[in-house]
């Protein structure tokens, strides 16, 4: 056998070693790279799963490791997760409920404030029309019609006193009485009469404006009597000029109207009544009628609707007798009461 040269043998050995090394490297690379490739792939799956289906990814690892225990853990985790979601949902609902409740409270507050504003405005707009007039000025009250109702609760007593006053007969009043209660006559002139504006306490418990025409010589006394009757809340039902009834004495009395001047004769005679000169005043005439017995022995009552009040032995409201405030005031000023007359009784009547 022929031996090869040494370099050939060395070269052959080197080539063999290279081949062996190459084959070893080829077999080593998959074992080293596969874990890295597996990790990267697992991470990718875990990332994708964590984004899309976190429960399933976790379950796959648990199942590989623990089997049935994994299923129990997963069920527990699912329940915890569902409970977490439910709690989160409840919290959100709770927060929403609080927010809704807060908004409702704010809404109710807004409504309440709006309602208060409306009520406040409503209170300003709904004040009775008479009230502003009573607190503006005495002059405005003086322009109001007799019989008007007033609310004087906010006025001082000195202001109320100014609503009792005396005037000469001016054009507005003259136009009302000419040819009605006042006739051209030789007995009394317009200049001898005075127009009185007073307040009186009505049967309805309210304050009313009243008016009277009287002789100038008794005007101050009548004014003071009317002021005191009002202070004492003495009830008078009505007090307007008899001209509102066409100067018809029966109509005025039947309506229980308190009045004074009316140029006329005494009923059933040719003699002038003291009313014709402005020296007499009738108070609540329906409840305090004129009563007499005629020549036939029959009882005559005027006004005709006052029959039930003719018997003065009975007690009833608005009855004038010697214990009555109205009687006491007029007689203290020197007036004569018709209830004290002998031949007839005129319980409504006071005169000078």
Q: Could you tell me the pLDDT band of residue 270, with boundaries at 50, 70 and 90? A: confident
Check pLDDT > 50 for residue 142. yes
Q: Which residue has the tokens 């596969």?
A: 34
Task: Select from 71, 97, 126 the last residue of a domain.
Answer: 126
For residue 303, is it within any domain?
A: yes
For residue 16, is it within any domain?
A: no
Which tens digit of pLDDT belongs to each residue from 208-240? 999 999 999 999 999 999 999 999 999 999 999
Domain range for 86 is 55-126
Q: Could you tell me the pLDDT band of residue 23, with boundaries at 50, 70 and 90? A: confident
The number of distinct structural domains making up the chain is: 2
State the distance between the two ends of the chain, measured CA to CA, in whole angstroms: 189
Percent of the chain scored above 70 by pLDDT? 66
Give the HSE-up count for residue 186: Cα atoms under 13 Å, Cβ half-sphere: 0
* 91 and 233 belong to one structural domain: no
Opening angle at CA 277, ends 271 and 279, nearest 5: 105
* 99 and 182 belong to one structural domain: no
The span from the CA of 43 to the CA of 47, in Å, is 6
Which pair of structure tokens corresponds to residue 120? 């406040």
* 254 and 333 belong to one structural domain: yes
Q: What are phi and psi of 2, to 5 degrees?
A: -95, 130
Check pLDDT > 90 for residue 59. no
How far is residue 164 from each of residues 172, 207, 230, 259, 317, measured CA to CA in Å? 18, 13, 10, 16, 26
* 211 and 337 belong to one structural domain: yes
For residue 24, is it within any domain?
A: no
- Summary mean pLDDT of the chain: 78
Could you tell me the sign of the dihedral formed by the alpha carbons of 107, 109, 113, 118, in that order? positive
Task: Select from 126, 159, 182 the last residue of a domain.
Answer: 126
Q: Which residues of 147-158 are buried (b: 16+ CB within 10 A; e: fewer)?
A: beebbbeebeee
For residue 263, is it within any domain?
A: yes
The span from the CA of 348 to the CA of 336, in Å, is 11
Q: Could you tell me the pLDDT band of residue 135, with boundaries at 50, 70 and 90? A: low
* 203 and 337 belong to one structural domain: yes
* 94 and 165 belong to one structural domain: no
- Give pLDDT, residue 295: 87
């Amino acid at each position: 056998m022929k031996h090869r040269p040494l370099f050939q043998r060395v070269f052959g050995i080197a080539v063999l070693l290279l081949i062996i090394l190459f084959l070893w490297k080829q077999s080593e690379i998959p074992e080293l790279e596969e874990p890295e490739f597996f990790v990267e792939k697992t991470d990718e799956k875990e990332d994708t799963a964590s984004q899309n289906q976190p429960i399933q990814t976790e379950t796959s690892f648990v199942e590989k490791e623990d089997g049935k225990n994994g299923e129990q853990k997963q069920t527990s985790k699912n329940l915890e997760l569902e409970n977490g979601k439910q709690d989160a949902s409840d919290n959100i609902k709770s927060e929403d409920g609080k927010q809704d409740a807060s908004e409702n409270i704010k809404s109710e507050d807004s409504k309440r404030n709006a309602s208060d504003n409306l009520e406040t405005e409503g209170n300003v707009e709904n004040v009775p029309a008479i009230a502003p007039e009573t607190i503006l000025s005495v002059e405005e009250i003086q322009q109001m019609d007799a019989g008007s109702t007033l609310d004087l609760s906010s006025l001082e007593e000195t202001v109320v006193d100014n609503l009792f006053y005396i005037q000469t007969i001016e054009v507005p009043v003259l136009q009302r009485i000419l040819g009605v209660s006042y006739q051209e006559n030789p007995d009394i002139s317009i200049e001898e009469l005075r127009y009185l504006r007073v307040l009186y306490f009505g049967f309805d418990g309210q304050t009313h404006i009243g008016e009277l025409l009287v002789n100038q010589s008794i005007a101050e006394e009548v004014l003071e009597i009317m002021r005191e009757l009002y202070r004492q809340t003495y009830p008078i039902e009505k007090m307007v000029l008899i001209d509102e009834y066409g100067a018809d004495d029966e109509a005025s009395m039947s309506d229980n109207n308190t009045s004074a001047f009316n140029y006329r004769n005494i009923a059933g005679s040719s003699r002038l009544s003291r009313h014709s000169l402005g020296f007499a005043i009738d108070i609540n005439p329906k409840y305090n009628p004129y009563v007499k017995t005629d020549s036939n022995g029959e009882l005559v009552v005027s006004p005709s609707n006052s029959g039930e009040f003719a018997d003065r032995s009975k007690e009833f409201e608005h009855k004038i007798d010697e214990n009555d405030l109205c009687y006491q005031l007029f007689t203290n000023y020197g007036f004569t009461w018709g209830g004290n007359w002998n031949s007839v009784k005129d319980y409504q009547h006071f005169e000078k």
